[in-house]
């Protein structure tokens, strides 16, 4: 789980990131884009973006205002 501003984000074994309102826990949106379970989350509140990392090494950067992917890449050790 990740607290960022007025939102709580959680990553799931289903490869999705869920965005909830902090105040009432209402689901704002579900961010879909990973093919494997989400195991890491990080936030950049001034930009209103979050990064999610999946078990397969895929990283997605999301705009939390509209739920769209800003960037994605594969982070694998050499």
pLDDT of residue 77: 63
CB-CB contact of 16 with 32 (8 Å): yes
How confident is the prediction for the chain on average, in pLDDT?
Answer: 94
State the Rg of the chain over Cα. Answer: 12
Architecture of the domain made up of 2-74: Beta Barrel (2.40)
Work out the end-to-end distance of the chain between its first and last CA atoms, rounded to an integer number of angstroms: 29
10 Å Cβ neighbour count for 15?
Answer: 19
* Secondary structure (3-state) at 45: helix
pLDDT of residue 66: 95
* C-alpha 33, offset from chain centre: 9
pLDDT tens sequence across 35-62? 999 999 999 999 999 999 999 999 999 9
């Amino acid at each position: 789980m990740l607290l960022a501003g007025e939102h709580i984000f959680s990553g799931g074994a289903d490869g999705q990131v869920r965005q909830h309102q902090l105040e009432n826990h209402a689901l704002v949106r579900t961010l879909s884009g990973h093919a494997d379970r989400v195991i890491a989350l990080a936030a950049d509140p001034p930009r209103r973006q979050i990064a999610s990392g999946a078990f397969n090494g895929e990283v997605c950067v999301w705009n939390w205002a509209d739920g769209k992917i800003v960037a994605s890449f594969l982070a694998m050790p050499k």
